[in-house]
Structure 1
Amino acid sequence: MIAETVCSAVSAAGLGIAAVTAYRKRFLSAARLAAYSLVPIGLVLTGVVGWAADTAFSLKAWVGFGVLGAAWLMFLGTRAVERRTGGTRKERKAAKAAQREAVAPAASAPSLGGSSRPAAARPAAKPQSAAPAEDFSDIEAILKKHGI
């Protein structure tokens, strides 16, 4: 009974706000507000509010929601474990059998043999210069300029 009264009050307030909005010549917003404010009355008239109130205060319904939640958590847990382990046993056996039956399993492996270029053709390593000392002096000069 209280839920129906609250829904009626919310609908009346929404229709009042829609009327004020329409008075301000914002008809599209007023129509949208009127539609939203008629939803609670529609729910009361269809009996959804009574059903929801009976469900909310029913111990049997809350136990049912708990069982559904536990089933959902178990489903998600098994999916996570299945993804982590790489599938079921049948899928792993099929993957191993397919790998053994490959025509040339080493054909796609990269070769580790010697390179075709001679050692002299490779570029020599760059010698280190005294440039880093100059970089630090520039930084020190900037810091001294700013009083740091």
Structure 2
Amino acid sequence: MIAETVCSAVSAAGLGIAAVTAYRKRFLTAARLAAYSLVPVGLVLTGVVGWAADTAFSLKAWIGFGVLGAAWLMFLATRAVERRTGGTRKERKAAKAARRDAVAPAASAPSLGQGAGPAAAKPAAKPKAAAPADDFSDIEAILKKHGI
């Protein structure tokens, strides 16, 4: 009974604010405020407020919410442990076998094949570093081009 009265008072106050807003020529805002203020009355008329009030003051409902919360926490805890450990033993064994099978058997063979001789096995010789005089030749050419 009190919940219905509170909802009716909230709706009446909202409609009053909407009327003042409409008086100030802000019709779109007034219509929006009127729509929001009619929601509590609609909830009272559909019986949602009565059901919510009965649920809020019911010990049985609060115990039910507690059981649901405990189940939710247990679910989250098991998911966290499963992620940390990598799943069950069967899942870990299957993942390890899949990793082992994923590697191609010929992956360790050289890419040049068996016919390549000892010349192919040697690494290519590193190019010699350019002499310091060669480094400045480009700069000298640019300076000569500009007449410096």
Greater fraction helix: 2
Name stretches of at least 5 consecutive residues in structure 1 with no aligned partner.
Answer: none
CA RMSD of aligned residues (A): 7.9
Q: How many residues align?
A: 148
CA contact (8 A) 1:99 1:105 kept: no
CA contact (8 A) 1:21 1:27 kept: yes
SS at match of 1:92: helix
Q: What TM-score comes out, normalization by structure 1 length?
A: 0.69
Measure how far apart 1:95 and its partner are.
Answer: 1.4
Choose 1 or 2 for highest CA Rg. 2
The alpha-carbon distance between structure 1 residues 33 and 98, as it changes in their structure 2 partners (threshold 3 A), is same
The alpha-carbon distance between structure 1 residues 98 and 124, as it changes in their structure 2 partners (threshold 3 A), is closer
Deviation track 1:5-32 (CA, whole Å, cap 9, x = no partner) reads: 1100000000000000001111110011
1:136, 1:65 → 2: CA distance? 81
1:121, 1:13 → 2: CA distance? 90
Indicate the larger mover: 109-118 or 2-11.
109-118
Indicate the larger mover: 10-19 or 132-141.
132-141
1:144, 1:21 → 2: CA distance? 81
Q: What TM-score comes out, normalization by structure 2 length?
A: 0.69
Name stretches of at least 5 consecutive residues in structure 2 with no aligned partner.
Answer: none
Aligned match of 1:67: 67
Deviation track 1:14-58 (CA, whole Å, cap 9, x = no partner) reads: 000000000111111001100000000000000111111111110
Indicate the larger mover: 96-105 or 31-40.
96-105
